[in-house]
Structure 1
Amino acid sequence: MMLKRPRATMPAGIRRELDAAGLTEAFKQRPPHQHNDYLHWIERSVRAATKRKRIDQMLEELKAGGVYMGMAHRPSNRAR
């Protein structure tokens, strides 16, 4: 799939969060547009509290599977 915008760069802090939660592989399994959406959404945060909330939401969605940006998303269901 071709992205219409540049691919987001993974910030070291987000990488550490994914590693610490054991969710790096779950993130990698998502399609490139979801990587971009999550990373750009988090990086657009102005307040630290908002950034923390968005990181936590991403981690919870990756952990749960079947959820993407607060919506049900069948392709991201993971075998548990």
Structure 2
Amino acid sequence: MPADVATALTDSGVQGAYDERPAYQRNDYIGWIERAKILDTRSRRIGQMLDELAVGGVYMGMQHAPSHKNGS
């Protein structure tokens, strides 16, 4: 995992939510972030991933019922 992504997950407190996601989702997030050619795009993608993990129920901008947080 890239160091900036690992730091962002830890600092935002969503490492556990990331770890709970299926391997294909974790891999998709990392690959999507790594394919960014511009630093602003990379930062925006990391932010989207963090937001989705914090909220739950969303994966790559799509509804994802299995990852809904309790009470959602």
Instruction: Tell me the TM-score normalised to structure 1 length.
Output: 0.86
CA distance in 2, matches of 1:18, 1:26: 9
Partner of 1:54: 45
State the shift of 1:60 in Å: 0.3
Partner of 1:3: none
Partner of 2:22: 31
CA distance in 1, matches of 2:47, 2:4: 13
Counterpart amino acid of residue 8 in structure 2? E
Larger Rg: 1
How many residue pairs are counted as aligned between the two chains? Answer: 71
CA distance in 2, matches of 1:19, 1:53: 17
Aligned-residue CA RMSD in angstroms? 0.8
Instruction: Tell me the TM-score normalised to structure 2 length.
Output: 0.95
Q: Which has a greater percent of strand?
A: 2
Unaligned runs of 5+ in 1: 1-9
Q: Residues 3-61 of structure 1, C-alpha deviation per residue, up to 9 Å, x if partnerless?
A: xxxxxxx1111111000000000000000000000000000000001001100000000
Partner of 2:64: 73
State the shift of 1:79 in Å: 1.6
